[in-house]
Structure 1
Amino acid sequence: MTGTAISRARRSRRLLLVVVAGLLAVALVVDPLARQALAGGRSIDLEVLQLRLAYNTGVAFSMGDHVPSPVLLTVTGLITAAIAVYAWRTAPASSWLTVVGLAALFAGAAANVVDRTLDGRVTDYLHTGWFPTFNLADTFLTCGVALLLVSLFVDARTEAKESAP
């Protein structure tokens, strides 16, 4: 590997770590604040969005809520670890958009795993009225997937332009 390639790999991995650390910290700070502020059935109406406390013992859309918590924790923990390994290994050869998408995906998954570790359930508090209640970590997961999809199109267009005669 050349000096330039090593420098690029370090920058990509540094970007990955910084984005993961920042998003994970935000999610892990907001969750307990939401539990405290919304305890006792309190809710806050923000017009399009309501803050209201709910708990999810399953995974997305409460699927698997009948599965024992240790099993869900193990499976989601393994999936989260796999995302982390994949992100770390592919970051040096990935665009910044892909790295940020993978970082958001990992941060969201990791925040939900940490939350589930506390009491076997994930704290949800963002409610739209037309969609199931979710949390900030879920938005990181969704945004991460969206960024990865966008990066696929952007990277494909860039490669097509570079290989055109």
Structure 2
Amino acid sequence: MAEAERITGTPESEPGSGAEPEAGSEGGRPAEGERGTGRGRRRIAALLLVAAIVYLLDLGSKLAVVAKLEHHAPVEVVGTLLQFEVIRNRGAAFSIGEALTIFLTIIATVVIVVIFRIARKLYSLPWAIALGLLLGGAFGNLTDRIFRSPGVFQGAVVDFIAPAHFAVFNLADSAIVCGGVLIVLLSFKGLDPDGTVHKD
């Protein structure tokens, strides 16, 4: 009987025979929704990993320069073209808007909330990297604003990277700028956070 089924090409199971595909699958393969969910989780994991790396690098560098360099003469890294010099900045990135500390803290908090909302439908790895840079940088500077003097939500951000003829900044500022530039490039190419590509 099995030999006759093989010769005639009779499938091993017919509709109604009781052999059903596994639940949550299509023809034995994972359903599209399940594949999408798994891919989305990997992208969120990538976002959080990038954010954690940026945050830890920023926090560690600030702790180190405050302990070793604050109240000391600038340290030359590349002659006078690049120095390490600790300053306390109550403004935004690159010492802009020093009278708006509380307002800037609110903006940073809103940015973090928006990133988490976008992450719910995140399927693009480049977007995950870009948002991770923004998230890590925002958390880095927000930590300073919450925990450093002169007070909660009014704290001064530690900046220490001092190129010649340019504002002093930190690693969090750099990550925010890089993330923002990457988002502009991705938007210009028409790539959305959900992985789709649109053309105007």
Tell me if TM exceeds 0.5. yes
3-state secondary structure, aligned to 1:41: coil
**Compared CA separation, residues 93 and 109, structure 1 to 2 (3 A):** closer
The structure richer in helix per residue is 1
Task: Tell me, in whole angstroms, the C-alpha distance in 1 between the residues paired with 2:112 and 2:45.
Answer: 14
Aligned AA for 1:34?
Answer: V
Instruction: Please state if 1:128 is matched with 2:166.
Output: no
Task: Tell me, in whole angstroms, the C-alpha distance in 2 between the residues paired with 1:80 and 1:63.
Answer: 14
1:98 to 104, 127, 130: 127
Per-residue Cα deviation, 1:4-26 (whole angstroms, up to 9, x for no partner): 11111111111111111111111
**Compared CA separation, residues 61 and 30, structure 1 to 2 (3 A):** closer
Aligned AA for 1:108?
Answer: G
Contact kept, 8 Å, 1:20 with 1:104, in 2: the verdict is: yes
For 1:16, the equivalent position in structure 2 comes to: 47
The 5 A counterparts of 1:25-40 are 25-40=56-71
Name the structure, 1 or 2, with higher relative contact order (CA <8 Å, separation 6+). Answer: 1
Aligned AA for 2:143?
Answer: V
Contact kept, 8 Å, 1:13 with 1:88, in 2: the verdict is: no
Contact kept, 8 Å, 1:57 with 1:122, in 2: the verdict is: yes
Aligned AA for 1:85?
Answer: V
Following superposition, the deviation at residue 57 of structure 1 comes to 1.7
2:109 to 57, 77, 81: 81
Instruction: Please state if 1:138 is matched with 2:173.
Output: yes
- The total of aligned residue pairs comes to 155
Following superposition, the deviation at residue 114 of structure 1 comes to 0.6
For 1:159, the equivalent position in structure 2 comes to: 197
3-state secondary structure, aligned to 1:39: coil
Identity within the alignment, %: 28
3-state secondary structure, aligned to 2:99: coil
Q: Structure 2 regions of 5+ residues with no counterpart?
A: 1-31, 150-154
CA-based RMSD of the aligned residues comes to: 2.2
Following superposition, the deviation at residue 62 of structure 1 comes to 3.1
Following superposition, the deviation at residue 53 of structure 1 comes to 1.1
3-state secondary structure, aligned to 2:197: helix
Instruction: Please state if 1:62 is matched with 2:62.
Output: no
Contact kept, 8 Å, 1:24 with 1:110, in 2: the verdict is: yes
3-state secondary structure, aligned to 2:54: helix
3-state secondary structure, aligned to 1:64: coil
Q: Which range moves more in the overlay, 53-62 or 23-32?
A: 53-62
Task: Tell me, in whole angstroms, the C-alpha distance in 2 between the residues paired with 1:42 and 1:64.
Answer: 26
Following superposition, the deviation at residue 61 of structure 1 comes to 4.0
For 1:45, the equivalent position in structure 2 comes to: 76
Contact kept, 8 Å, 2:40 with 2:123, in 1: the verdict is: no
Q: Structure 1 regions of 5+ residues with no counterpart?
A: none
Contact kept, 8 Å, 2:91 with 2:104, in 1: the verdict is: no
Aligned AA for 1:38?
Answer: L
Per-residue Cα deviation, 1:62-116 (whole angstroms, up to 9, x for no partner): 333234xxxx24x334323332232233233342111111111121111111112
